[in-house]
A and B are shown apart, each in its own frame.
Chain A
Amino acid sequence: MNPFYFGRSQRPLFGIYHPPHARPVRKTGVVLCPPIGHEYARTHRVLRHLALSLADAGCHVMRFDWYGVGDSGGDGSDVDLPGWIADVGTAIEELKDTSGITRVSLVGVRLGAAIAMSAAAKRRDVENVVLWDPIVRGSTYLSDVIALNEQFLRNEYPPPRSRSENPERDGVLGQPLPATLRDQLAAFSLTSLTTCGARAVHVVASAPHSHFDELSAHLATLPVRSTCQVLGRGGDWDAVDRIVSALLPQQIQPMLQGMAELAMAEAE
């Protein structure tokens, strides 16, 4: 395991490279794309566990933090979707440079899944994209997370002084949401993608949801093989009492195992 900073000096990204721990070494590496905000913190340990599992199965693996999130540079006030989509490309190139591989799979979680899918649309070196409970519509995510923030802070002590929170000034559940990002999220939908450069897209869901059905129907119109499956318990993303509790690998083992297998599925 090698933690390091990479990318442009004006946009440093924190990453951890996990070299393969088994032979034969797989030809396809894996880049993990985390969620943002409180979901980033909640999933940190399970994504580490997933990375170790993939490395133990012979994969070169890269984890990284988005610009303005986690240990990466930026304070979150200047983040935007195009920048994050570009971060995926930077991470892919870094893994390719580090390991010598030429193809990658992407595993994305929540908004990280949406960003990974958007990045894959523009590339020709992506094998599988695995989407764990992806954000299909940015507008729904935005309203959900703002509502969750208000509910969380209402339950916290001290009670809020005003009836509604101010996401512009105070962010949402610890994540700054600058106006640019909010506007971009409001206009974003995975069902608007018209291309997909990946060989296969796999949606893995904690529970059935109409958004995943819409996404599956849309993927069927694109020239890409796609699957959608419910792999059982996931992150309880909407549960206000889970916001500050870290997910543990043993809580979601079937989900992690399923994602690892899908990420490693190769045509070879």
Chain B
Amino acid sequence: MSAPLKEKAMLFGRTRSLVGVLTEPARNAESRGKPGVILLNSGLLHRVGPSRMYVALARALAADGFPVLRFDFSGIGDSESRRDALSGDESTLEEARDAMDALTAARGVRRFILMGLCSGADNAFQIARADERVVGAAMIDGYAYRTIGFHWRYWSERLASGRRWKRLLQRVVRRASHAASGGSNPAEPMYVRAFPAKERVIADCRTMIARGVELCFLYSAGQYQYYNYRRQFDHAFRRLDYAGRVTVTYFPDANHTFTRRSHLEELVSAVRAWAPRTIEVSERPDAGVDPVVRPVAQKALADVPAS
């Protein structure tokens, strides 16, 4: 039976126009010493997340004693658009800080874990770097950097796949036919994420690790354009001393939005297993002892997808 939880809707921010839901254990004592968790929107999807991912994460972590706030940045979901001239990055940081302040006011917590999928992961990383109240960041399909191992797997699979060849042929025929009919832009629009330079990310990781921040990188196989084997993170960040504060998990069967419930449950289990590492992190004596923390979900330990 699941632990009893409380959920409460919140309006916060300078103009009380940001909408969120606070999930917490029914008994306040269970939250003692635990940071507050804040879930950051993935793209334009509102705070519920794809396949209700954020609701599942919030309730699982709250069952473990973490107060969790999922909210909408301005202009997303139920939150109003801003009327000032702040840039996207500035407003994102300001509103994440508003969320931390709101959680402090509601629950008294002063240390935070930030968490998100895709653009939510990117924001979690950047905000964790910028705000010293953050003691943990869990990034689902966040920044990734290709390695030789990545390219080997990527191209081996593509060249061996009949389905890929068929698709390529279809694309060539479609483009040729479009060009013949006078079309000007045969290419379909494609969403491409821009990651910061790897050196910059390594430097930021070092800064956060030195601060005692726990970093959790979770990659689905659905992020195949950027990440396609479990140890890719280790290889790409070879020059980064994890100091026992980096956890990497790879989900070889999951698509990017963890659509299947069984995959979502694996994700939730992995995050749940990692989150306690942030409890009173500044007081823990083990900093610098554990060189590399291996993936937490045994099920996710397989290397390259077998299919």
Question: A174 near B7 (CB under 8 angstroms)?
Answer: no
Interface 0/1 of B293-307, CB less than 8 Å to A: 000000000000101
Restricting to B227-242, which residues have a CB under 8 Å from any CB of A? none
Contacts of A158 in B (CB 8 A): 221-222, 224, 252-253, 255, 305, 307
Q: Mark B1-27, 1 if CB is under 8 A from A, else 0.
A: 000000111110000000101000000
Q: Is the interface of A mostly helix, strand, loop or mixed?
A: loop
Note all chain A residues with C-beta closer than 8 A to B252: 158
**Which of B78, B163, B221 has a CB less than 8 Å from the CB of A1?**
B78
**In this assembly, does B77 line the interface, its C-beta being within 8 Å of a C-beta of chain A?**
yes
Minimum CB distance partner of B264 in chain A: A174
Q: Is the CB of B253 within 8 A of A5?
A: no
Which of B47, B76, B307 has a CB less than 8 Å from the CB of A71? B47
B45 proximal to A (CB < 8 A): yes
Are B52 and A70 in touch, CB under 8 angstroms? yes
Alpha-carbon separation in the docked complex, A3 to B8 (Å):
9
Distance in Å from the Cβ of B218 to the closest Cβ of chain A?
Answer: 16
Please determine whether A41 and B50 come into contact, CB atoms closer than 8 angstroms: yes
B55 contacts the other chain (Cβ, under 8 Å)? yes
> Looking at the complex, which one of B8, B43, B44, B163 makes contact with A5 (CB distance below 8 Å)?
B8
A9 to chain B, nearest CB (A): 10
Q: Do A4 and B77 contact each other (CB < 8 Å), given the known contacts A71-B55, A171-B260, A173-B259?
A: no
| Interface pair B255/A171, CB less than 8 Å apart | no
Q: How many of chain B's residues have a CB under 8 angstroms from any CB in A?
A: 38
Interface residue B261 (Cβ < 8 Å from any Cβ of A): yes
- Chain A CB within 8 A of B146 CB: no
Of the candidates A41, A48, A71, A153, the one whose C-beta lies within 8 Å of that of B7 is A71
If the complex has contacts A41-B50, A45-B44, A156-B255, are A3 and B7 also in contact, measured as CB distance less than 8 A? Answer: no
- B292 at interface (Cβ–Cβ under 8 A)? no
Shortest distance from the beta carbon of A169 to any chain B beta carbon, whole Å: 6
For residue A200, give the distance in angstroms from its CB to the closest CB of chain B: 30
Are the C-beta atoms of A174 and B50 separated by less than 8 Å? Answer: yes
Contact in complex: B9, A14 (CB < 8 Å): yes
Contact B307 A41 (CB under 8 A): no
> B46: which A residues are within 8 A, CB to CB?
41, 44-45
Task: List the A side residues contacting B255 at CB < 8 Å.
Answer: 153, 156-158
Q: Of all chain B residues, which has the CB nearest A159?
A: B307
For B55, list chain A residues within 8 Å (CB).
70-71
Indicate if B279 sits at the interface (CB-CB under 8 A): no
Give the docked Cα–Cα distance between A73 and B48 (Å).
Answer: 12
Interface string of A228-250 (1 = CB under 8 A from B): 00000000000000001010000
Within 8 Å CB of A3, what residues of B? 9-11, 19, 21, 78
Residues of A within 8 A of B307 (CB): 158-159, 161
8 A Cβ contacts from A130-184 to B: 149, 152-153, 156-159, 161, 165, 169-171, 173-174, 176
For A36-47 the 0/1 string (1 means CB < 8 A from B) is 000001001100
Q: How far is B56's CA from A157's CA once the two chains are assembled, in angstroms?
A: 22
Interface members, chain B 247-280 (any A CB < 8 Å): 252-253, 255-257, 259-263
Say how far A52's CB is from chain B's closest CB, in angstroms.
9
Q: A170 contacts which chain B residues (CB < 8 A)?
A: 259-263
The 10 closest A-B pairs by CB, nearest first: A174-B51, A3-B9, A170-B260, A156-B255, A158-B221, A246-B44, A157-B224, A170-B261, A171-B261, A4-B9
